[in-house]
Amino acid sequence: MPLGKPAGVRCIQLADDARCRIFGQPERPAVCAGLTPSAEMCGSSQAHAMHYLSRLESLTQPAARP
């Protein structure tokens, strides 16, 4: 996604099994490569992890320009 990915939009690089298609490739965005999973992030379920990541995306999205 050359212009970034909006919060709440599934990454186009995620396969049906939720694995990154460009993991380890140079075109993988730095923000993805720098994201280190933790017990807090992953929780005990996929639903927890997705909620955590959605919240993280919302909190870190660029401010709208006036």
Can you give the pLDDT at residue 2?
72
State the residue range of the domain holding 48: 36-60
What are the pLDDT digits (tens) for 9-56? Answer: 888 999 999 899 999 999 998 888 888 889 999 999 989 988 998 888
Can you give the pLDDT at residue 4?
77
Q: Is this structure's pTM higher than 0.75?
A: no
Structural domain tally of the chain? 1
Can you give the pLDDT at residue 23?
94
Tell me whether residue 44 is in a domain: yes
Tell me whether residue 55 is in a domain: yes
Tell me whether residue 28 is in a domain: no
Angle at 36 between CA 40 and CA 11, to 5 degrees: 95
**Closest by Cα among 33, 37, 34, 29 to 53:** 37
**Closest by Cα among 30, 26, 39, 31 to 61:** 31
- 50-64 in b/e form (b: 16+ CB < 10 A) is eeeeeeeeeeeeeee
Tell me whether residue 46 is in a domain: yes
Tell me whether residue 25 is in a domain: no
